Each structure stands twice: as structure tokens, then as C-alpha cells.
């Protein structure tokens, strides 16, 4: 990672420039510049795709299926949330591993930001799923294995934030939460991917119900579904980069005030 | 393993801790018995297995929690000088496995005395107990190491361990259901293999990650 290397240099050079206020704006700027990890065109792509997904997802034709009917459109908004959550958590774990290999403060900030946004995606996925379940299954909470698995996955990351909250030493907090992040993620995988498949589930895509990749996801829906996944994921990355930048600038300001 | 021996010696020396654990287990089971206020087939096998695993879970979390939380700071520094982190986590996991196994066996005996014993397929049930004990020990030892560093470690221990342990617990409950009903062993082979796989993941991660906890 190029940006992290630069950041490392910034951190080391900081040690002998502390106290001299002149270097601060320059440091701020360099930190600011290299932390715009997301290219502008990607943001534009995300926004354009999302506009397309909202228009297309609500207006385009979908296959008629029993029970599902129009609620099939939830696919465009519900499933990308889970995809986004898993991908963001994966990135969070990636930075946690990087932190353990090379303890730079930057990695920790990124890891937390990814976990934060991943959790937000998870909660949104839960809400959209419950909305959908209300109309197709009859009640928002149905005790479906997938719902339970998802709820537990969210609990893992709530526990992660509690752990971070209860450690005062900054370095210790970063290291221990990285360890827990990796450990929890690795034990969460069996939960959301294996256990629901052992059980009968009413969730589309399992237990013989129509779902993903089955006959109902025809080419018309793919046309919207794939852009939706990409767009939501890009939005997630965007929020993460904003959070990381915000955090970094906040820390810089705090440092310059000291 | 010298460290393993030390764990046992220390544990046997602290008689009050062991008797405390035994009493804890006994009182939980007695409370179950009193609150249900029923005997003999009055509770269904499903409820039996749920109660059983809940009891085991709480006793195990409490007993494993003290594996790092209870240690004094000086003792930890002393271990640090004489052994590598891998050896330490290894000895802790083995010791905790045996502890968990003893607790779950004792719980099983007490359950069959106070409530009743619906298990038909003993072999599968014992296999589940052993595998679940390994899983609990492997994951809880690491969590205990993390929680020991924090301020309110006892609360944190419960919060952190619950989501991690739940996959083991779900598998165990599933196999227990099969064992209680006396279903053919082939039916629960999948779950047992899953338990083994989860144990492997937890063990390997503990082995890899523990040195990072230890370093502080």
C-alpha cells in the first residue's frame, strides 16, 4: 500500500517536528491528500449507478412469481446490503491483519472505519429484510435461520465496539480489537454461511425456494441487480474514506492544539 | 509439559475455587429443578438439552474466564520469561479442555439425578461433550486473554465470548437432539464434523493470534 508507506514517513517525521507550528499545515495537507484513496470518477460512477438502480429497480419489469409479486424488488436493496457488509468486514479484517503485522495507527483507523460502515450496512440489511418479510412471511421477525445468523453476526461487531470502548490505552485497544476482529470474523463465517444451509429455511435461495441464480433472477433483473451491488459497495467505500479522513484530520487538529 | 503440570498443581491447591465451581453448577441445576418443579419426563427432551447446554455454557464461561483474568501480574511476567507464548496458550487450552470436560460430565450426572436422563445414544453424546469442550476451551482461552487486559473484564468476557461460542453451542444442541432421540449416528455425522472444523479454526487462530496478546 503506497499511501500507508507515506503515512509511515509522516509519522516518523512528526517526531522531530512536534512543536513547530509551521510544519502543521503541510502535514495536514499531505495527510489529507494521500487519504483521498477513492478516485473521484468512482464516486461519480456510484452515484450514477444508484440513480439508475432506484429508477430501474422501482419501475422496470420484473418476473411475476407467487407470493413474492412486487416485493421481489427488495432484492435490489436488501441483498447488496449483505454483500456490502461481508465485503466491508473482510476489508476490516484485512486491515486488522495488516495492523498486527505492522502496527501503524493508520491501519487501525481504517479497520474501525470499515467495521463501522459494515455494521451500518448490516443494520440496513436487517431492516430491509424485515420489511420484506413482513409482506411475504407475515411478520418481520420469523426466526428464520438466516435472520438468526445475521443477528449474531451483528452481535459480534457490537461486542467489538464494546471491547474498543472499554480499553483506554490506545495501542492496546488497537491490537486487542484487531485480534478480536480476526477471531470473531473467522468464527462468524460458519455462522452465516454454513449453519443456515443445514437447516430448512424459508429464505429465498435455500430449501428449494426460488432465489439467487435460480430461474427467477432472469436477465432483466440482473441488469439492475449487479449494478446495485457495485453501487452500494462503492457508496460504502466512500463513507469509509470520509470517516478515515475525518478521523485523521481530527487527530491532527488535536495534536496541533497540544 | 511443565506448564500443564503447574496449572493442575495450582488448581488443586486452590480448593475453594474448585468447590466454588462445583457449588455453582449444583445451584444452577437445582434452580432449574426447583423452578420447573417437575420430575420425570415432565420436560420435553428439547427443553432438557436447552437447559443442559445453558448450564454448561455459563459454568464454563465462568471457569475459563479466570484462566487469565485471575492471574496476578507478576505471575504473567514470570511465565513470559520462561516459556514461549505458543507453549502457554497450548497448556492453557489443554488444561481448560479438561476442566470443561469435567464440568460438563459433572453437569450431566447432576442433571440425570435431579431432572432426568433422556439420552439414548450415549456414545454420540459423549463425543459431543468432548468436542464442545475442546471448542469452548480453545475459543474462551483466547477471549479470556483479551478480556484480562480490559478494565471491566468479567462483563467483557461474557459479551465477547457469547457470539463466538454460539456456533459451537448450536452444533452441540443439534447433535444432542439427535442423541436424545436415538437417531442413527450417520445423521449427526455432519454436525460432528462441523464441530471438529470449528475447533480447528478456533485452535489455529488462538495459536496464531495469542503471541500478539502476550506481547503487551
Closest Cβ opposite residue A172 in set B149, B197, B209:
B149
pTM of the model: 0.76
Exposed, middle or buried: residue B213 (CB in 10 Å: 0-12, 13-18, 19+)?
buried
Measure A195 CA to nearest chain B CA, in Å: 8
**Is the CB of residue B135 less than 8 Å from the CB of residue B202?**
yes
Angle made by CA atoms B179, B185, B190, in degrees to the nearest 5: 100
Whether A12 contacts chain B with CB within 8 A: no
Interface of B with A (CB under 8 A): 139, 142-143, 146, 149-152, 156, 159-160, 162-164, 166-167, 170-171, 174, 190-191, 194, 197-198, 201-202, 205-206, 209, 212-213, 215-216
Measure A125 CA to nearest chain B CA, in Å: 19
Query: Higher-confidence residue: A204 or B93?
Result: B93
Mean pLDDT, residues B6-29 taken together? 75
Residues contacting A146, CB < 8 A, separation 6+ = A192, A196, A201, A203, A206
Residues contacting A205, CB < 8 A, separation 6+ = A211, A212, A213, A214
Measured between beta carbons, the chain B residues lying within 8 angstroms of A171 are 216
**Is the CB of residue A163 less than 8 Å from the CB of residue A150?**
no
Q: What is the pLDDT of residues A161-209, one digit of tens each?
A: 888 888 878 888 888 888 888 888 887 777 677 666 666 555 665 444 4
pLDDT at A20: 38
Phi, psi (rounded to 5 degrees) for A207: 60, 30
DSSP state of B70: S
Query: Higher-confidence residue: B167 or A115?
Result: A115
| pLDDT exceeds cutoff 50 at B28 | yes
DSSP state of B107: H
**Is the CB of residue B87 less than 8 Å from the CB of residue B3?**
yes
d(CA B100, CA B135): 10
Q: What is the pLDDT of residues B61-87, one digit of tens each?
A: 888 877 777 666 677 777 777 777 777
Determine, for residues A162 and B213 on separate chains, whether the beta-carbon distance falls below 8 Å: no
Q: Pick from A190, A192, A193 the residue to mutate for testing the B interface (most B CBs within 10 Å).
A: A190
Closest Cβ opposite residue B166 in set A100, A152, A186:
A152
Q: Delimit the domains of chain A by residue range.
A: 39-243
Q: Of B176, B160, B167, nearest to B195 (Cα)?
A: B167
- Quick one: closest CA in A to B210, which residue? A179
Distances B215 to A76, A77, A172, B146 between C-alpha atoms, Å: 46, 44, 10, 12
Average pLDDT, chain B: 79
Low-confidence ranges of chain A (pLDDT < 50): 1-25, 31-36, 206-211, 214-215
- Whole-number percent of chain B with pLDDT over 70: 84
Whether A155 contacts chain B with CB within 8 A: yes
Determine, for residues A152 and B205 on separate chains, whether the beta-carbon distance falls below 8 Å: no
| pLDDT exceeds cutoff 70 at B207 | yes
Determine, for residues B149 and A191 on separate chains, whether the beta-carbon distance falls below 8 Å: no
- Quick one: closest CA in A to B198, which residue? A187
Mean pLDDT, residues B38-42 taken together? 60
The number of C-beta contacts closer than 8 angstroms across A and B is 88
pLDDT at B8: 67
Q: C-alpha cell of A58?
A: 422501482
Amino acid at each position: 500500500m503506497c499511501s500507508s508507506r507515506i503515512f509511515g514517513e509522516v509519522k516518523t517525521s512528526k517526531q522531530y517536528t512536534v512543536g513547530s507550528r509551521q510544519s502543521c499545515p503541510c502535514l495536514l495537507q499531505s495527510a489529507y491528500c494521500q487519504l483521498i484513496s477513492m478516485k473521484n470518477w468512482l464516486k461519480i460512477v456510484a452515484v450514477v449507478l444508484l440513480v439508475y438502480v432506484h429508477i430501474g429497480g422501482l419501475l422496470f419489469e420484473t418476473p411475476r412469481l407467487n407470493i413474492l409479486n412486487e416485493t421481489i424488488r427488495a432484492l435490489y436493496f436488501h441483498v447488496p446490503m449483505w454483500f456490502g457488509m461481508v465485503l466491508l468486514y473482510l476489508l476490516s479484517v484485512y486491515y486488522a491483519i495488516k495492523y498486527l503485522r505492522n502496527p501503524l495507527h493508520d491501519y487501525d483507523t481504517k479497520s474501525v472505519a470499515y467495521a463501522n460502515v459494515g455494521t451500518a450496512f448490516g443494520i440496513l440489511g436487517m431492516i430491509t429484510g424485515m420489511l420484506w418479510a413482513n409482506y411475504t412471511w407475515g411478520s418481520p421477525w420469523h426466526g428464520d435461520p438466516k435472520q438468526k445468523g445475521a443477528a449474531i453476526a451483528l452481535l459480534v461487531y457490537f461486542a467489538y465496539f464494546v471491547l474498543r470502548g472499554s480499553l483506554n490505552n490506545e495501542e492496546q485497544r488497537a491490537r486487542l480489537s484487531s485480534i478480536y476482529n480476526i477471531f470473531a470474523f473467522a468464527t462468524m463465517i460458519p455462522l452465516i454461511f454454513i449453519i443456515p444451509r443445514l437447516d430448512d429455511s424459508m429464505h429465498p435461495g435455500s430449501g428449494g425456494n426460488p432465489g439467487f441464480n435460480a430461474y427467477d433472477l432472469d436477465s432483466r433483473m440482473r441488469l439492475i441487480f449487479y449494478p446495485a451491488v457495485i453501487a452500494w459497495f462503492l457508496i460504502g467505500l466512500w463513507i469509509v474514506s470520509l470517516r478515515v479522513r475525518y478521523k485523521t484530520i481530527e487527530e491532527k487538529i488535536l495534536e496541533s492544539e497540544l | 509439559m511443565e506448564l500443564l503440570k503447574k496449572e493442575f498443581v495450582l488448581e488443586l491447591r486452590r480448593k475453594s475455587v474448585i468447590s466454588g465451581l462445583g457449588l455453582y453448577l449444583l445451584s444452577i441445576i437445582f434452580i432449574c429443578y426447583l423452578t420447573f418443579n417437575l420430575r420425570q419426563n415432565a420436560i420435553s427432551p428439547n427443553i432438557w438439552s436447552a437447559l443442559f447446554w445453558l448450564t454448561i455454557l455459563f459454568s464454563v464461561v465462568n471457569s475459563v474466564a479466570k484462566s487469565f483474568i485471575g492471574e496476578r501480574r507478576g505471575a504473567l511476567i514470570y511465565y513470559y520469561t520462561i516459556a514461549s507464548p505458543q507453549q502457554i496458550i497450548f497448556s492453557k487450552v489443554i488444561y481448560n479442555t479438561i476442566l470443561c470436560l469435567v464440568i460438563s460430565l459433572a453437569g450431566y450426572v447432576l442433571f440425570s439425578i435431579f431432572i432426568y436422563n433422556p439420552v439414548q445414544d450415549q456414545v454420540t453424546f459423549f463425543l459431543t461433550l468432548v468436542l464442545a469442550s475442546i471448542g469452548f476451551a480453545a475459543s474462551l482461552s483466547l477471549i479470556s486473554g483479551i478480556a484480562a487486559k480490559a478494565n471491566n473484564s468479567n462483563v467483557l468476557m461474557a459479551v465477547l465470548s457469547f457470539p463466538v461460542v454460539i456456533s459451537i453451542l448450536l452444533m452441540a444442541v443439534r447433535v444432542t437432539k439427535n442423541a436424545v432421540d436415538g437417531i442413527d449416528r450417520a445423521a449427526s455425522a455432519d454436525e460432528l464434523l462441523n464441530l471438529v472444523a470449528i475447533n480447528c479454526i478456533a485452535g489455529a487462530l488462538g495459536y496464531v493470534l495469542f503471541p500478539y496478546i502476550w506481547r503487551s
